[in-house]
Amino acid sequence: MRLSKDSPSDQSSIPQPDRHSVLLLVDPQNDFFPGGAMGMPKGNNLIPIINAYIKHFSRQGCPILATRDWHPANHCSFSEQGGAYPTHCVQGSRGAQFHSELVMPPGMMVISKGTDPKKDARSAFEGSSLGDRLEDLNVKTVFVLGPATQDCLKQTALDACKIGLQVVALKDAIGSMDRTGNNLQEISGAGALQATASDLGISSASL
């Protein structure tokens, strides 16, 4: 069953975290939260729910991975270099750090992308070790969240669907400047499910 943005969640149709699942935090970096170079409006409201998901998946014994833009100062995506985006997530900068209020688990695997100054990498699978790491972990289902839907999260989810992974977009922990919901609809159209914390048995008291 494929859930659309406007469909009520049917918990029986949504996979629950198991030993073949991973929680993937896509670019939860300062530059994608309010005050950052590409900050999402009201992005700070996502912090409690993201932390609740981290806690829940940790309790289930599931691996938790985080991707990050890790750009050199002369990256081709920057407007100064003729690219489409303002300078963001420069290696070693505050903007490239994970949001300080996120409670990251010890030993969390971090996947860097966009490290080649001449190549953009909107998907976390592009030019990174993410695919190999998921294969090593024998992952079948990827639960994905992050502050910015329109680029990196969307492309990462689409690529995960393309390689045959089951994708669950945790829509209450995803930020966007797209008020139409088209990005989530595109992800669902590729075969992903949409879910919220309640679908995974996370109580409101945890938020």
Task: Indicate which residues carry an active-site annotation.
Answer: 27, 113, 152
Residues facing 195 on adjacent strands = 170
The residue among 32, 21, 100, 113 whose CA lies nearest residue 66 is 113
Q: How far apart are CA 39 and CA 160, in angstroms?
A: 25
- Rounded-to-integer distance, Cα 26 and Cα 68, Å: 7
- Rounded Cα gap, residues 102 and 99, in angstroms: 6
**Neighbour tally for 205: CB within 10 Å:** 6
Give me the sign of the Cα torsion angle 31, 36, 41, 47.
positive
